[in-house]
Amino acid sequence: MSIPRRTFLKGSAAVAAGAATAPMFKDTWLSEAHAALPTDAVWNKAPCRFCGAGCGAEVATSKGRIVAVRGDEQSPVNKGLLCAKGYGLALMLYGKDRLTKPQIKQPDGTFKDATWEEALDLIATKWKDLIAKDGPDAVSIYGSGQWTIPEGYAAQKWIKGGIGSNNLEPNARLCMASAVVGFLKTYGIDEPPGCYDDFDTADYFFLWGANMAEMHPMLFNRILQRKQADANVKIINFSTFGHLTDQGADENHLFVPHTDLYLLNAFAQVLVENDLHDKAFIDAHTNIMKDTDGGSVTMTWDEYVTFLQDYTPDKVAAQIGMSAADITRLAKMFGDPAKNCVSTWTMGANQHTRGVWVNNQFHNLHLMTGKVSKPGNSPFSLTGQPSACGTCREVGTFTHRLPSDRLVANADHRAEIEAIWNLPSGTIPSPTDSPLAHATALWGKLAAGTVKSVWVSVSNPMQSLPNLNAIRDGVDKGELFMIVSDMYPTETTKYADVILPSSCWVEKEGMFGNSERRTQHFDKMIDPPGDAKSDVWQFVEVARKMGYDNLFPKSWDGDLEKNLYNEYRECTLGTHHDVATYDDLKATRGLRWPVINGKETKWRFNSKYDSEVSASAVDGIEFYGKSDGKAVIWARPYEAPAEAPSTEYPLWLCTGRVLVHWHTGTMTRRVPQLHKSVPEALVYLSNNDAATAGVTDGDMVKITSIRGSVTMKVATECQTKVPDGLIFVPFFDESKLINDVVLGAVDPQSFQPDYKKCAVKIEKA
């Protein structure tokens, strides 16, 4: 019998708060107490395999198996605590259906076990034939924010420096791309200027569409600890529906989906109107700009003030569903010069057709008040995958990127990487030679047959892509040659021609990079089951079979991950992204880049903390990602959503996650305790909308959009409380593919899809 979600969440919170050193789950091989551990158990450190918080775990092994997991008390991230998923780290490796042998699809559609030699020879031969016939862009790699740094770097080097194609994308395009472009447009360099230390000294926390209690529980725990230490600390939570974070917040404010553009501009208007902006900081350290049809232009301060007059609290209150008095009061709290402020956000802001603009507005508020690049003051984007930052963003495993914020469109950047890779000039293709295709565009090409093959690694796109019906139909009907590397069967392996069993987490060596720019190393501690191999080994072996031995010399064997990391580190030096040495990572619980002479950087752009700031910087502040050292305050107007409720489709649909399951559930659903607590995805309805549809808890309801439909069970009496007119559905359940319903609209600057807003109707099934 499943545990009601409300009960489980409260229990999990208690466990996370009080069980720092005891494993959460008991099994025949997972000890409940340290006294019961085998006498030969050995402990070692590793960052958590799940979200981008980068919590530290300690792993005990004995006789080739993990026998216990506990929070790492030496980790500066989580300080000995783990959430429910973290305590299930070991169990995720031991599901009964682990993939242990390569498999090749037969003519009748069944899969047959194969040797590694057979599987890799087939891939190498097929890719060489496709490239010979249709050119380098006939093949592609679709990776993940779960890739280790060596895995992503190997894929990047192989496809761009060897094959000569820009057909490389990660699933991080679906979750963090708007944050990336937001940082780049504001500061000229990616990733937050602050760090988790800000959570320990801030006075006010503004959570903008970030359900931290469920999605980043250990970081939320740090905020709660800060509040416990000082009763004057306030947590202000903005969302489109109610969730577990509400219980820890001082104020919870619901707003109408997509109206965050109104809300944030109204905050800026209040700051100006009430003289709560730091005009000296603005003049010395920022430019004010707006987009035009031909690019972007500079605005004067007076022009920006005039722009904000369209967003007074009185004008926007009715649009967003909040009172003008609340908007004004909260903005004044933000602008209080005596208070430190941290803003956090995640998918609620990023998965948005104007996600970049929303991100820019967060930065605007901090720049306007000077609350940036100093302790307790930070605009901080939270990351959903363990190395979406360290691998996708920093290594640059996107179609348009190269390591350390370099771009394939920039000839100088291509030349710099070619020199490090010891390749002839012109080897890395420009966008003219190999057109760029972001994730959904790439899958559109795969479905249409214009790209002939894809290697999917550490991702489950046939469950996670938006407007999934259209993609699946094309893949199913076409002649796509698909390779899938994974640890378990997924919706995506169903469509594979070759399935490769992958090692996971501490079954291999690797490095992850978390949300605060912290790069962390972990050792291989146990062997993977059966014939499973690391994704790095798989890429390198096929590359060598195709003749790209020069990219991955045999001399690297035995220390492949170390050598890949060391070469990647060379790409970062002198770019303000300098990462730590391999030896320093092994010896520490991670270091935050830029790491200069072995010293990490907590707060960037401030000479008190950041040695990269030049001696001539005004007041010691230099936003060195921009050539003039100034950040940008962007005028970002409201823009209507791509789709809104109508008479035929009267409800908003929002999709996301729940505490105990992670992404598509591939790993967490193999942890019995997590799966039993929430065994299926439910549709969360308000009581009024349930009554209108004639349904109650436990009934089945059909959710339909213009793209597709899905049938699932109703939940109204639970922790997740949605307002009238909105329904929420998590996407972890492969038996209920809610992404069949979701629209495929993307932000025009980041190309990130909007999973948070589409129009649906419901009816009793």
For the residues of 442-511, what is the DSSP string, one character each?
A: HHHHHHHTSS-EEEEES--HHHHSSSHHHHHHHHHHS--EEEEEESS--TTGGG-SEEEEB--GGGS-EE
Q: Supply 41's token pair.
A: 């158990």
Non-local CB neighbours of 176 within 8 Å, separated by 6+ positions: 145, 350, 381, 383, 384, 388, 389, 392, 393, 752
CA distance 612 to 606: 9
CA distance 197 to 225: 12
CA distance 400 to 3: 45
Q: Residue 218 catalytic?
A: no
CA distance 653 to 640: 16
Distances (CA, A) of 746 to 174, 282, 560, 642: 9, 32, 37, 9
Fold annotation for 5-89: Phosphorylase Kinase; domain 1 (3.30.200)
As to burial, measured by CB atoms within 10 angstroms (0-12 exposed, 13-18 middle, 19+ buried), residue 197 is: middle
Using DSSP's 3-state secondary structure scheme, residue 62 falls into strand
- Contact present, 593 and 577 (Cβ < 8 Å): yes
Q: Which pLDDT belongs to residue 718?
A: 82
Closest CA to 758 of 713, 709, 714, 718: 709
Q: Residue 385 catalytic?
A: yes
Topology alike, domains 5-89 and 651-764:
no
CA distance 157 to 139: 15
Residue 190 φ/ψ region, left for φ over 0, alpha for ψ in the -120 to 50 degree band, beta for the rest:
beta
- Contact present, 581 and 569 (Cβ < 8 Å): yes
**How is domain 177-382 classified at the architecture level of CATH?**
3-Layer(aba) Sandwich (3.40)
Non-local CB neighbours of 230 within 8 Å, separated by 6+ positions: 203
Low-confidence residues of the chain: pLDDT under 70: 1-35
Delimit the domains of the chain by residue range.
5-89, 136-173+387-552, 177-382, 651-764
Closest CA to 57 of 664, 672, 667, 590: 590
Q: Residue 347 catalytic?
A: yes
* Reported CATH class of domain 651-764: mainly beta
| Radius of gyration from C-alpha coordinates of the chain | 25
Catalytic residue among 45, 85, 445, 761: 85
CA distance 146 to 156: 15
Q: Residue 384 catalytic?
A: yes
- Contact present, 606 and 596 (Cβ < 8 Å): no
**How is domain 136-173+387-552 classified at the architecture level of CATH?**
3-Layer(aba) Sandwich (3.40)
Catalytic residue among 88, 194, 242, 384: 384
Please give the share of the chain, as a percent, with pLDDT higher than 90: 93
Catalytic residue among 24, 347, 368, 758: 347
Q: What are phi and psi of 619, to 5 degrees?
A: 60, 20
Catalytic residue among 175, 195, 368, 511: 175
Catalytic residue among 51, 176, 215, 389: 176
CA distance 89 to 533: 19
Using DSSP's 3-state secondary structure scheme, residue 206 falls into strand
Q: Give the ranges where 26-115 is alpha helix by DSSP (H).
A: 84-87
Residue 698 φ/ψ region, left for φ over 0, alpha for ψ in the -120 to 50 degree band, beta for the rest:
left
Q: For residue 207, which amino acid is it?
A: L
The residue written with tokens 């890429």 in the block is: 539
pLDDT in tens, 597-612: 999 999 999 999 999 9
pLDDT in tens, 605-645: 999 999 999 999 999 999 999 999 999 999 999 999 999 99
The 8-class DSSP code of residue 306 comes to H
Catalytic residue among 156, 385, 719, 752: 385
Angle between helix 535-545 and 560-572 (nearest 10): 90
CA distance 145 to 700: 34
The angle at the Cα of 36, spanning 31 to 39, to the nearest 5 degrees, equals 110
DSSP state letters, 356-409: HHHHHHHHHHHHHHT-SSBTTBEEEE--SSTTIIIIIIIII-STTEETTTEETT
